[in-house]
Amino acid sequence: MIKAVDLFKSFGEQEVLKGITTEFYPGKTNLIIGRSGAGKTVLLKLLVGLLSPTKGQVFYDDVDFFNLNKRQVRTIRMKVGMLFQASALFDSMTVEENIRFPLDMFTTMTRKEKLDRVNYCLERVNLHEVNSKYPSEISGGMQKRVGIARAIVLEPKYLFCDEPNSGLDPKTAILIDELIRSITIENNITTVVNTHDMNSVMGIGDNVILLYDGEIAWRGDRDEVMESDNEILQNFIFASPFLQQLRDTALKK
Amino acid sequence: MFLKNFLFHLGRYFIMMRMALYQPERMSMYYKETMRQMNDIGIGSLVIVGLISIFIGAVTAVQFAYQLDGTLVPTYYIGYIVRDSTIIELAPTITCLVLAGKVGSNIAAEIGGMRQKEHIDAMEIMGVNTAGYLILPKVLAAVVVIPMLVAIAAFISIMGGYVASVPTGLMSNAEFVQGVRAFFVPYNVFMMFVKAVVFAILLTSVSSYQGYYVEGGSIELGKASTNAVVFSDILILLADYVIAVLLTG
């Protein structure tokens, strides 16, 4: 479990996060949602330690992350996988080398064992015969899947996904969502997904927090979204008249 | 304001270099990366270094021949001057100034691009010491390869002096060889290698620093690349003076 306690973050005069306290549960897809500029990415970066909070703490299974020394941070980070918005695959490496990179860096596995593990991860994300391709030679959706394969290659306990659906068509986006959810459940991973995609909220939102102006405006799960009368949530999820009409029809039924 | 800015960058540079010197996570990965960098910096720069060196030697020979014309200084001195000016100053300094442009801008752009595309963040999250993995192999590779390039540059430069003076009739083959062999001080070669090593560390670490902390978009990346060359060049010339004072004092 990951716990954020009273997190504040400012950049100069601008206060981006204002006292976020929340928990992210293992075996669940925990979603951080909110409009652009609400502080989602900053919260995610604080959770993984890419940014330091102005005030507050982050606990990984009761271990205070920002009180650890470098060696301890590295130990925690080896249990963390992350999928970046633009996949962040290394351009000069093939798909296989990208996924193998953490294994090369941190394990003493043999070449054969590494290759088996890489192939297993590629299989897990439904990719075949792409080992020798470079990131520029595969589609955006495939890049995301390679990103997921690389994130899970060290069997992480915690998985972070920054806008995993951005730039993807709705069908591929749903596939990525389902992949993230099934991997989370299979391996009992604590997964935190940062998104503003309404399909993700309704599809994989086991535990959803809505950020608004640097604060948590609502929390719940995907079943509670429809019934909530929280105005900020309703304005965010059902932003267009078409979606509002859909919601009204669904509620009438 | 300027002093505050200077101290900020100086402090951050030393913090980055300290992080780069932490124990590597896996030696074999660092070794592989160092070999790749040696190839990029060394083999990749051979042609430009060779080309520049031949002209440095040729121009030095022609200009000294012009200056010594009509004086009582023996002609073979041209060979001696070409050799010593090349070894003591021109080969290490000009080679490294050129490498600051070629290798330095490349390093800043490569690391800066990785920063902008979140590759560095991705490595950080994996637990990789990014300063170590991205910077140390470049510095080590440069420290090994740049002195070799400088030695090659010195040899080619002297050959350039020969080509510009013997076939053109400025002096005879025997005179040039006599000049090249006259008053040889091995300590000058030591000085050349000291300069090469110091300049190698400066140009790779300063360029890495510019790339590692780049913020913003492509304009900032371009600026970082330019800064890498400008600051490396300034520091190389400053270090050249300091080394000259220290080693000849």
Asked if B195 contacts B149 with a C-beta cutoff of 8 angstroms, the reply is no
Strand blocks (E) in chain A:
2-11, 14-24, 29-33, 55-60, 63-64, 80-83, 158-162, 190-195, 207-212, 215-220
Nearest to B126 among A86, A105, A160 (CB): A105
Contact yes or no for B125 and A48 at CB 8 A: yes
Classify the C-alpha dihedral A67-A71-A74-A75 as positive or negative. Answer: negative
> d(Cα B195, Cα B236) in Å, to the nearest integer?
9
What is the per-residue pLDDT for A132? 95
CB contact under 8 A, A88 and B119: yes
Asked whether residue A166 carries a pLDDT value surpassing 90, the answer given is no
Distance of CA A116 to the CA centre of its chain: 26
Read off the pLDDT of residues A94-138 as tens digits, 9 standing for 90 and up. Answer: 999 999 999 999 999 999 999 999 999 999 888 888 999 999 999
Tell me if chain B has a CB within 8 Å of the CB of A101. yes
Query: Is the pLDDT score of B20 beyond 90?
Result: yes
Q: What is the mean pLDDT of residues B137-163?
A: 96
The sign of the torsion formed by the CA atoms of B181, B186, B188, B190 equals positive
> Position B7: which residue type?
L
H helix intervals, A55-110: 70-77, 95-106
Sorted by where each begins, the domain ranges of chain A are: 1-79+192-253
Chain B residue closest in CA terms to A71:
B127
Q: Which residues lie closer than 8 Å to A226 by C-beta, 6 or more apart?
A: A247, A250, A251
Q: Please tell me what DSSP assigns to residue B23.
A: P
Q: What is the structure's pLDDT at B98?
A: 95
Q: Do A78 and B119 touch (CB under 8 A)?
A: no
CATH code of the domain made up of A1-79+192-253: 3.40.50.300
pLDDT for B94 = 95
Q: What is the pLDDT of residue A109?
A: 93
Q: What is the DSSP letter of B166?
A: T
A88 contact B CB<8A: yes
Residue A247 in this model has a pLDDT that exceeds 80 = no
Using DSSP's 3-state secondary structure scheme, residue A228 falls into coil
Name the residue facing B126 among A75, A77, A86 (closest C-beta): A77
Share of chain B above pLDDT 90, in %: 87
- Taking one residue from A and the other from B, the number of pairs with CB-CB distance under 8 angstroms is 51
pLDDT one-digit tens code per residue, B113-138: 999 999 999 999 998 999 999 999 99
Tell me how long chain A is.
253
Which residue type does B141 have? A
Please tell me whether residue A245 adopts helix, strand or coil conformation.
helix
User: Which pLDDT score is estimated for B69?
Assistant: 81
- Least confident range of A143-147, A212-216, A225-229, B98-102: A225-229
Average pLDDT, chain B: 94
Residue type, A29: T
Q: Mind telling me how many Å the CA of B238 is from chain A's nearest CA?
A: 36
Beta strand spans in chain B (E): none
Chain A CB contacts of B117 below 8 Å: 86, 88, 91
Contact indicator for B176, B166 with CB cutoff of 8 Å? yes
Which residues in B lie closer than 8 A to residue A80 (C-beta atoms)?
125-127
What is the pLDDT at residue A67?
A: 92
Which residue's entry shows tokens 């507050």? A56
> Interior CA angle at A192 toward A187 and A198, to 5°?
115
What percent of chain A lies above the pLDDT cut of 90? 60
Residue A244 to residue A151: CA distance in whole angstroms? 36
Per-domain boundaries in chain B: 30-248
pLDDT score of A228:
84
Please write the tens of the pLDDT for every residue from A6-64.
999 999 889 999 999 999 999 999 999 988 888 899 999 999 999 999 999 999 998 99
Q: What pLDDT, on the 0 to 100 scale, is given for residue A65?
A: 92
pLDDT in tens, A87-103: 899 999 999 999 999 99
**B153: confidence class by pLDDT, cuts 50, 70, 90:** very high
The partner residues of A5 in beta bridges, in order of sequence, read: A57
User: Is B146 exposed, middle or buried (CB count within 10 Å of its CB: 0-12, 13-18, 19+)?
Assistant: buried
Residue B215, strand partner residues: none
Q: Crossing angle for the helix pair B77-85 and B130-165, nearest 10 degrees?
A: 170
Rounded CA-CA distance B81/B87 in Å is: 10
Amino acid A240: pLDDT: 79
Measured CA to CA, the distance from residue B126 to residue B114 in angstroms comes to 15
